[in-house]
Amino acid sequence: MKIGVFDSGLGGLVITKAFIQTMPEFDYCYYGDTKNLPYGEKTSGQILSYTLEAVKYLIAQDCKLIIIACNTATSIALRYIQQRFIPAYAPDIKVLGVVIPTVEEAVFNGAGTIGVIATPATVRSHIYQTELLKLNPNLKIFELATPKLVPMIENNQFDLADEICQEYAKPFWHADSLILGCTHYPLVKNYFRRLLPNVKIIAQDELMGAKLQDYLTRHPEIASQLACNYNYQFEVSLINEQSAAVAQRLFPGIVIKEKASD
């Protein structure tokens, strides 16, 4: 069986790339819901509906372990999927998110003041604040919705990156660390590192490969069911010239296909 990765668009390709670089032997199936992005501007009901549809699709693609790489979908839908949907629909499947591994990294860094940038829906959920405070109740946390970043990245408009990142970096000059709380944001991590040279920038593409490897080491009963044929499948709900260009930027040499209509 495969490892499935789901994202609201193409940003999750950077996470999938990290998985493949760390553990290339496994079979992977990536699905990006490019038709309905950006999720950060959608209602919670819409996000849950889209995420459930994607998880069902990955289960149908023989995925044993599914990673919801989208921070917005993780914040809105993961708990329902883990506690209500999966036990009834596919109890042998495991579904994980990206928030918990990210906050573990932020707190491990020993920071006292942590900034979070994310989509509006993720910020509204306060999932990062909630999970960070569980690990350290004394943290000072500052969250900022950054709605311009995902459309800029998905539309391959990186000529706007410097101006947009400058705007969003300003509130975090005095933070110890800044969580880039969206799988698209590793594409602009170098902008934030240049703008905030004294702040530890936490980008999910740099930690998720090791986190998944650790998870599989601790759960050999899951790892033993995963196929190791080096087969990689990349699909999106809608592909166009722009998305193809972004996919190449995220994962050079990738062959990405549009999901067949139901």
CATH number of domain containing 155: 3.40.50.1860
Nearest to 78 by CA among 60, 51, 50: 51
Residue after which a domain boundary falls, among 178, 204, 230: 204
Q: Are residues 147 and 79 in the same domain?
A: no
Q: Are residues 191 and 226 in the same domain?
A: no
Residue partners of 181: CB distance under 8 A and separation at least 6: 71, 99, 102, 116, 117, 118, 119, 122, 128
Q: Are residues 184 and 128 in the same domain?
A: yes
Residue partners of 245: CB distance under 8 A and separation at least 6: 156
> CA 132 to CA 128: how far, in whole Å?
6
- Output the pLDDT for position 232: 95
Q: How many CB atoms lie within 10 A of CB 170?
A: 11
Q: Are residues 134 and 69 in the same domain?
A: no
User: Which residues have a catalytic role annotated?
Assistant: 70, 182
* Domain, as residue range, for 176: 99-204
Task: Point out the residues of the chain with pLDDT beneath 50.
Answer: none
Q: Are residues 123 and 138 in the same domain?
A: yes
> CA 70 to CA 122: how far, in whole Å?
10
> CA 155 to CA 190: how far, in whole Å?
19
Q: Are residues 214 and 195 in the same domain?
A: no
Q: Are residues 247 and 159 in the same domain?
A: no
| Contact present, 96 and 70 (Cβ < 8 Å) | no
Q: What is the pTM for the complete model shown? A: 0.92
Q: Are residues 248 and 196 in the same domain?
A: no
- Output the pLDDT for position 262: 62
Q: Are residues 136 and 191 in the same domain?
A: yes
Residue after which a domain boundary falls, among 204, 225, 248: 204
| Contact present, 237 and 35 (Cβ < 8 Å) | yes
Q: Are residues 167 and 222 in the same domain?
A: no
Q: Which two tokens stand for residue 33?
A: 């819901």
Residue after which a domain boundary falls, among 204, 223, 248: 204
Overall number of domains in the chain? 2
